Amino acid sequence: MDLNFSPEEAAFRQEVREFLRVKLPGDISRKVLEHRRLVKDDYVRWQKILFEQGWIATGWPVEHGGTGWSPIQRYIFEEESAAAGAPRLTPFGLHMVGPVIIAFGSEAQKKQYLPRILSSEDWWCQGYSEPGSGSDLASLKTRAERQGDHYIVNGQKTWNTHGQWADMCFCLVRTSSGGKKQEGISFLLIDMHSPGITVRPIITLDGEHEVNEVWFENVKVPAQNLIGEEGRGWSYAKFLLSHERTGIAGVGNSKRELQLLKHIASQEQAGGRALIEDPLFRDRIAQVEIDLMALEITCLRVAAADRDGKAPGPEASILKIKGTEIQQELTELMMEAVGPYALPHLPMAWGDHWIGAKVGPEYAAPLAARYLNYRKTSIYGGSNEIQRNIIAQMVLGL
């Protein structure tokens, strides 16, 4: 297996870099690089720029508006975008429900939803987890009862990311209670503006309104919004999660954050000594860099296999576990590096001017909030404990 980049791929990297240099709005990249809070308009503005370039759906088939890029080209694009400070593309439409609609949706559904995902006209959210049904997702209780040409949906979803901005929700619902619990689950597309939907914010430890609980009370959903067959939702969900878990690895973002960590650790502390001169702290930086290098090679191996038509199996779980552990370690090391200057992490510290800027380096103020926010990465997309079970089953046969 040759993991070196070809001359064509190297030329593609230069093309991406030049595009980002010219087209990526400076105010957005500064927010990303300085760990400032992004709003919906920041994401949409950038996605519309990519849409106009024809670079928005990097993993979709060309006939549905995709770029036709190879897995290696997609990897290069994500790495360069992260280095330049581009926002990560919101995954729910482009990387999650879009591929499901392409693979299992009707022609009418493809015609209706795919163009609106590409243009960012529709903002999507995910309706999977419920209170008591997170890692054991198959135990979900939200029900959808068929009544003629529509379903009536009742129940609750939680940890719903950006549902306060969403136009549509792809939702797992229980349409049958007989047989195995996985066999009674269906996959519905629900208009978030429908009567009977209530979105309630969950404010996380970093002061962010990123996630929500969503209540469905006698919500009427057209039967034509059912993806595929009734009772096959679990299969479609597993297909979707394999896409999500591979993308969670976030190698490009972690490489960028590693460089910031080295910069922070190289700054002189009280007494004129930089933290990176401490052998114990330097060893921790070296260990996370080694882990990141190994993760990058694994990602490239998965990309090369994908190029050869091999879908990721347990590799998706491996990437998810190690990628999120590295992300968490980087946030922890950065917060430790700035010490008490990371303290102002409450909502009033966010914005164009940091409270922390008056008592320490400006980059320090958001680091505690980022540390707290990244505690979630080992849980979402299927907890890392569940991923280890998947690896044990698929690799060891346990």
Catalytic residues: 244
| 3-state helix/strand/coil string of the chain | CCCCCCHHHHHHHHHHHHHHHHHCCHHHHHHHHCCCCCCHHHHHHHHHHHHHHCCCCCCCCHHHCCCCCCHHHHHHHHHHHHHHCCCCCCHHHHHHHHHHHHHHCCHHHHHHHHHHHHCCCCCEEEECCECCECCCHHHCCCEEEEECCEEEEEEEEEEEECCCCCCEEEEEEECCCCCCHHHHEEEEEEECCCCCEEEEEEECCCCCEEEEEEEEEEEEEEHHHECCCCCCHHHHHHHHHHHHHHHHCCHHHHHHHHHHHHHHHCCECCCCCEHHHCHHHHHHHHHHHHHHHHHHHHHHHHHHHHHCCCCCCHHHHHHHHHHHHHHHHHHHHHHHHHHHHHCCCCHHHCCCCCHHHHCCCHHHCCHHHHHHHHHHHHCCCCCHHHHHHHHHHHHHCC
215 closest CA partner among 195, 199, 201? 199
171 neighbors 311 (Cβ within 8 angstroms): no
Residue 358 exposed, middle or buried by CB count within 10 Å (0-12, 13-18, 19+): exposed
25 neighbors 74 (Cβ within 8 angstroms): no
Q: Find where tokens 């997702």 sit.
A: 137
